[in-house]
Amino acid sequence: MERLNKYIASCGICSRRKADELILNGKVTINDEIIRELGKQVALDDVIKVDGKVIIKEEKKVYIMLNKPRGYVTTSHDQFNRKSVLDLINEDVRIYPIGRLDMYTEGLLLLTNDGEFSNKIMHPRNKIEKTYIVTTDTKISVEQIEKLKNGVNIGSYITKPAKVKLIKNDTLEIIISEGKNRQVRKMCEVVGINLLNLRRVKIGNIKLGNLQSGKYRYLTDEEKENVI
Ligand code: URA
């Protein structure tokens, strides 16, 4: 948390004293609510506007990998008050997840405040591969694997060919370059695989490795530069 006038000043808009004037004149909003209180504190996920325009602080760039546990959402504000991955991260800058993992999926999640880096990973043109491990109690057949490989209809969308490998009797590795909502779950459902657990272990060249569940670390320079 930091004082609103200090935050405005650190965005390079004006001095703290001038920021106080803007606040008193009703020119400043936090999450679209006009604020006239001088001592108001700003939280990391608040959206601050001056004269209707969002202001953002120049911050050092942060690149994080988190091993997301099951039961956490990847959004910051959740209408049902569920636990957010952002609760697991203790940084003094605003960061956001690159893409999403659904609430029950665990594993590798990247977070940053670098929009360019995020776009590079997310842009469909870059077709970045994401590797998932599926565990099931279904006996997996060759036919099921072939179907997943060729692409399946997950309801108004046919998935692109995927790389699929049986790792153990009850464990599959699925590599996809797309990111439709709950895609791997839907793919498994369509071919009759009862998915018990879903974990993402790799994004592009970045591997989760043995990072503990709920823990995070900074990406190395090598990981940042060679993500694709
Ligand atoms: N596929 C899913 O089903 N869920 C995810 O979170 C990611 C991919």
pLDDT (average), residues 5-15: 87
pLDDT one-digit tens code per residue, 18-43:
999 999 999 999 999 999 999 999 98
Tokens 């939280």 correspond to what residue? 43
**CA-132 nearest atom, ligand 1:** 8
pLDDT at residue 114 greater than cutoff 70: yes
pLDDT (average), residues 180-193: 97
Specify which residues 200 forms β-bridges with.
107, 132
pLDDT at residue 109 greater than cutoff 80: yes
| Domain span(s) for CATH 3.30.70.1560 in the chain | 129-203
The full DSSP string for 76-134 is SS-TT---BGGGG---SS--EESS---TT-EEEEEEES-HHHHHHHH-GGG---EEEEE
pLDDT at residue 205 greater than cutoff 70: yes
Using an 8 Å Cβ cutoff, are 200 and 105 in contact?
yes
102 CB less than 6 Å from ligand 1? yes
DSSP letter, residue 52: T
Angle between helices 183-191 and 142-150 (to 10 degrees): 140
**CA-200 nearest atom, ligand 1:** 7
How far, in Å, CA of 78 to CA of 73, rounded? Answer: 8
pLDDT of 173 = 98
Amino acid at 209: G
Residues 6 or more apart whose CB falls under 8 angstroms from that of 213 comprise: 67, 68, 69, 106
CATH topology of domain 2-54: 3.10.290
222 Cα to the center of ligand 1, angstroms? 26
pLDDT of 77 = 67
For the chain, the average pLDDT equals 93
Q: Which two tokens stand for residue 7?
A: 């935050």
pLDDT (average), residues 103-132: 94
184 CB less than 6 Å from ligand 1? yes
Specify which residues 108 forms β-bridges with.
67
Closest residue by Cα to residue 200 from 92, 107, 117: 107
| Domain span(s) for CATH 3.30.70.580 in the chain | 63-124+207-225
Strands 63-68 vs 41-42: parallel, antiparallel or unpaired: unpaired
Pick the CATH number of 129-203 from 3.30.70.1560, 3.90.230.10, 3.20.20.70, 3.20.19.10: 3.30.70.1560
The class of domain 63-124+207-225 in CATH terms is alpha beta
Query: So which residues are the catalytic ones?
Result: 102
Lowest mean pLDDT among 5-9, 54-58, 155-159: 54-58
Q: Count of CB atoms within 10 A of residue 216's CB? A: 19
Residue of 70, 85, 105 to test ligand 1 pocket, by largest number of atoms within 8 Å of CB: 105
Q: Whose CA is nearest to atom 6 of ligand 1?
A: 101
182 CB less than 6 Å from ligand 1? yes
How far, in Å, CA of 223 to CA of 112, rounded? Answer: 13
Collapsing DSSP to helix, strand or coil, 215 comes out as coil
Residue of 98, 101, 106, 130 to test ligand 1 pocket, by largest number of atoms within 8 Å of CB: 101
101 CB less than 6 Å from ligand 1? yes
> What's the gap between Cα 227 and its chain centre?
16
Residues 6 or more apart whose CB falls under 8 angstroms from that of 56 comprise: 11
Residue of 128, 129, 131, 132 to test ligand 1 pocket, by largest number of atoms within 8 Å of CB: 132
pLDDT of 12 = 81
Highest mean pLDDT among 31-45, 64-78, 135-149: 135-149
Collapsing DSSP to helix, strand or coil, 118 comes out as helix
> Has this prediction a pTM greater than 0.75?
yes
| Domain span(s) for CATH 3.10.290.10 in the chain | 2-54
pLDDT of 228 = 84
Percent of the chain exceeding pLDDT 90 equals: 79
